[in-house]
Amino acid sequence: MDSRKKITIMSPCYNEERSLDKLYQEVKDLMNSDLIASRYDWELLLVNDGSRDNSLEKMRELRNADDHVCFVNLSRNFGKENAMLAGFDYATGDCVIVMDADLQHPVSVIPEMIGFWEDGYDDVYGKRRVRGTETWLRKKLCLTFYSLLQKTTRIEILQNVGDFRLLDRRCVESLRALRETQRYTKGLYCWIGYKKKELLYDQADRQEGKSSFNYIGLLNLAIDGITGFTTSPLRISSVMGFIVSLAAFVYLVITLTKTILYGEPVQGYPTLICVILFLGGCQLIAIGIIGEYVGRIFNETKNRPVYIIDSYNDEKKL
């Protein structure tokens, strides 16, 4: 009876040619260590997310040398969130460990993750003890975003928790069932539920290349996160509209009464312009918020696949 379990280590890769060797080496050393090799089979699944450098050739090279390495080649750059779904679709393990290809996630905590998995946890997530050398502004903005998101949604969104985690097959199957195109995977992990376990780790700095998420990228992710998980901005804009209308009505009564009692010498240009501009601004914001949701509806109703596969281990896919 073969009861050996298989572990998939999955990394989305975008322009990571310089990190892949190191990543493979570290993963291989760990998986071949006595403790793990005696009990588990493994694969390293690399998802090439339309890299513009030689990442694909590198992956091919690694696979030629060791068929523990598998790679999925997407037809273009679909973004990390979508690339991860491709990884979940092609992973064959009993559990999947998601880690960045840039070695910011320490391989050394993986045995501990596996230990918790064996103890019956379905989702062992890494929580950053420190956020590494990010700029002050980026840290601040991330924290503000997390607390904003948490306040507006009913499910618990974990702070300082990234994509570094071990997922049981059950979680992977659940995530595969969620095929929305504007993905905010960090929220989806929480949404699916299951038994979770936190594991603290120190995030290293990126060793090679540079981060592909700038402020605009993070802002987009933040908007996807909020609009994907809560409709409370719509509620807030209705409530704001109601409050402003009420104030306007009170002001209207006051103005009318004053005019009837004392007459009205024409004046009031400043008041008028202030009110018009203020209300105009409120309306534009509210329309913008509605637009965000309409845009999401538009994108989801097209029902396009989340990604397109060019090849899996160099076998062409339709």
Pairing, β 5-13 against β 95-98: parallel
Q: Strand (E) positions, the chain?
A: 5-13, 40-48, 69-74, 95-98, 123-128, 161-168, 196-201, 309-312, 315-316
Shortest distance, position 77 Cβ to ligand UDP, whole Å:
5
Total site size for ligand UDP, rule CB under 6 A: 18
State the nearest-atom distance from the C-beta of 100 to ligand UDP, in Å. 4
Task: Give the footprint of Mg ion on residues 189-208 (CB under 5 A).
Answer: 206
- The residue whose two tokens read 């060791």 is 66
| Residues in contact with 26: Cβ distance below 8 Å, sequence separation at least 6, in sequence order | 103, 107
CB of 205 to Mg ion, least distance (A): 9
Q: Is 11 in the site for Mg ion (CB under 5 A)?
A: no
CB 23 within 8 A of CB 103: yes
User: Can you tell me which of 9, 44, 62, 83 binds ligand UDP, judged by CB under 6 A?
Assistant: 83
Q: What angle do CA 67, 25, 86 make, to 5 degrees?
A: 55
Q: Any contact of residue 126 with ligand UDP (CB under 6 A)?
A: no
**Which sign, positive or negative, has the C-alpha torsion 144, 148, 149, 150?**
positive
Assess 102 for contact with Mg ion (CB under 5 A).
Answer: yes
Nearer to ligand UDP, 50 or 93 (CB): 50
Q: Is 104 in the site for Mg ion (CB under 5 A)?
A: yes
Q: Which does 79 bind (CB under 5 to 8 A by kind): ligand UDP, Mg ion, none?
A: ligand UDP
H or E segment at 154? none
Positions that interact with Mg ion (CB under 5 A): 100, 102, 104, 206
Positions that interact with ligand UDP (CB under 6 A): 11-14, 16, 49, 77, 79-80, 83, 100-102, 104, 206, 211-213
